[in-house]
Structure 1
Amino acid sequence: MTEAPRVDTAQLMELLSVSLGAYYGDFTVAAASENLTASQGKALTVLRRGPAAMRALAETMTCDASNMTGIIDRLEKRALVRREPDASDRRVKNVILTAEGERVTDAIRAKMRTTQAGLDGLDDEDRASLYALLERVFTPRPTA
């Protein structure tokens, strides 16, 4: 049995870059098919995890708070999200995905054919391995 060649961090980062570029391209086309920008689609995807304060949403999406306001304004006009005052601090506005926003988010994912085809080509064991590896790589670890 031959040993697999060692893959260094630079090679992994390059493959991640290529993979994420392909994913982002697929996502951008799917979002556009729903008449959304990639940033608007990303906001819906983030909100699928649960309501978020505007500031937290801007931090998650690594964008300026004023830019986030414009993104949410446009999504709210289409009834894809709604703003509600936070129960503990009425100065804070939480953004909540509406049922229509959920439908559009599902439609975007369903239209990501390249990504779907790649993932569908994995067997159950490979899917579980990929999930576990991505979770290990991208889950923040406590610092000492």
Structure 2
Amino acid sequence: MASQRTDPLTLEVVELIGTVVARYHDEYEQAAAQHSLTGAQARVLGLLSLEPLPMRRIAQQLRCEPSNITGIVDRLEVRGLVERRPDAGDRRVKLAATTEEGRVTADRLREALGFAREPLAELTTAERTVLRDLLKRMLGKESAT
């Protein structure tokens, strides 16, 4: 395995991934600031725009403490972007969910992230599919296709 750490191709790929992550993070922070949100608030809002989730699950997906998520959701709720509602399957559990304004804001945030979308548009559908499948494989998620 030592050869993999010194393999120039592996090192180059690691550096490129790091550059993509840094650019994404910077652009995400800028897009969030345009909506008077922190990066963490924008990430929670984006996640909740996909589906309502309990606080614990949000914390697991974002790899942070549930108490941090509670504070973030509190601030989003005050702004009218998120609401808490009972889980239909277990009324003891509260779900955080976006409001209509929250969904619109999450969509605008996604639209503002052009740096990744524009270069991806230059790839063919087959190339994007291969890239998606490789990323899923790297993350330990099997491709659904």
Task: Confirm or deny a common fold (TM above 0.5).
Answer: yes
Q: Which has the higher contact order (CA 8 A, sep 6+)?
A: 1
Question: Please, what is the CA RMSD of the aligned residues?
Answer: 2.0
Taking the aligned partners of 1:96 and 1:111, their CA distance within structure 2 comes to 22
The amino acid across from 1:111 in the alignment is A
> Which structure has more helix as a fraction of its residues?
2
Q: Deviations over 1:101-122 (max 9, x none)?
A: 1111110111112222222222
Is residue 85–residue 93 contact of structure 1 (8 Å, CA) maintained in 2?
yes
Check if 1:69 corresponds to 2:77: no
Taking the aligned partners of 1:72 and 1:126, their CA distance within structure 2 comes to 37
Q: 1:94 to 1:11 in 2, by over 3 A?
A: same
- 1:102 counterpart residue number: 103
TM superposition score normalised by structure 2: 0.82
> Which has the higher mean CA deviation after the structures are superposed, 96-105 or 86-95?
86-95
Q: Secondary structure at the match of 1:122?
A: coil
Q: CA deviation at 1:139?
A: 4.0
Q: Secondary structure at the match of 1:95?
A: strand
Report 1:125-140 matches (<5 A): 125-140=126-141
User: 5+ unaligned residues in a row in structure 1: which ranges?
Assistant: none
Check if 1:121 corresponds to 2:93: no
Q: Deviations over 1:25-57 (max 9, x none)?
A: 111111111111100110011112211111111
Taking the aligned partners of 1:101 and 1:15, their CA distance within structure 2 comes to 33
Check if 1:42 corresponds to 2:28: no
Count how many residue pairs are aligned between Structure 1 and Structure 2: 136
> Which has the higher mean CA deviation after the structures are superposed, 37-46 or 129-138?
129-138
- 2:58 counterpart residue number: 57
Q: CA deviation at 1:6?
A: 7.4
Is residue 26–residue 115 contact of structure 1 (8 Å, CA) maintained in 2?
no
Taking the aligned partners of 1:45 and 1:120, their CA distance within structure 2 comes to 22
Taking the aligned partners of 1:49 and 1:107, their CA distance within structure 2 comes to 14
Q: Secondary structure at the match of 2:84?
A: strand
Taking the aligned partners of 1:93 and 1:13, their CA distance within structure 2 comes to 40
Taking the aligned partners of 1:84 and 1:112, their CA distance within structure 2 comes to 30
Identity level (%): 36
